[in-house]
Amino acid sequence: MQLRCVIVDDDENFLDVARASLERGGVIVAGVADSGAAAVQRVGALRPDIVLVDIRLGAESGFDVARVLAASGHAGRLIMISSYAEADYADLIAEAPVAGFLSKTKLSAVAIHRLLGIT
């Protein structure tokens, strides 16, 4: 199954690296966003299967962005990403309307498929 995703992150260098890595693994990066407002617009227009949301988007909380996307009726899966350890945010991740968490250092098509239970 080929997934379509939107990456929400305010680090342009990370966006370039993540896009290249995911596309090499067969995930289509349909779009990127660098803020909550841009994420809502892109996700609404592109309707991706998954949205990767950075936990820290400058002054914005990725958890707030995830809640807005979930409340807006986004039917795809939301995955939080961060360069920080999952344990640092475990309670917030558990309470958020997301499928789970992936470390930016381990982000790959295989890791996404594994997290979502896709074989």
Residue 98 is predicted with a pLDDT of: 95
Measure CA 28 to chain center.
Answer: 13
Distances (CA, A) of 84 to 28, 81, 89, 112: 25, 9, 8, 18
Domains located in the chain, CATH noted: 4-106 (3.40.50.2300)
pLDDT < 50: residue spans in the chain: none
pLDDT in tens, 75-96: 789 999 999 888 888 999 999 9
pLDDT value of residue 85: 84
- Residue showing tokens 């475990």: 90
Residue the block writes with tokens 């939301």: 78
Which pLDDT score, from 0 to 100, does residue 79 have? 97
Q: Tell me, what DSSP letter sits at residue 73?
A: T
Question: pLDDT value at position 84?
Answer: 86
Task: Provide the 3-class DSSP secondary structure of residue 78.
Answer: strand
In this structure, what are the phi and psi dihedrals at residue 107, rounded to the nearest 5 degrees? -65, 125
DSSP 3-state assignment of 32? Answer: strand
pLDDT of 55 reads 96
- What pLDDT, on a 0 to 100 scale, did the predictor assign at position 88? 85
Residue 114 identity: R
Instruction: Check residue 110 and give its pLDDT.
Output: 96
State the pLDDT at residue 86.
Answer: 85
Q: How many CB atoms lie within 10 A of CB 77?
A: 19
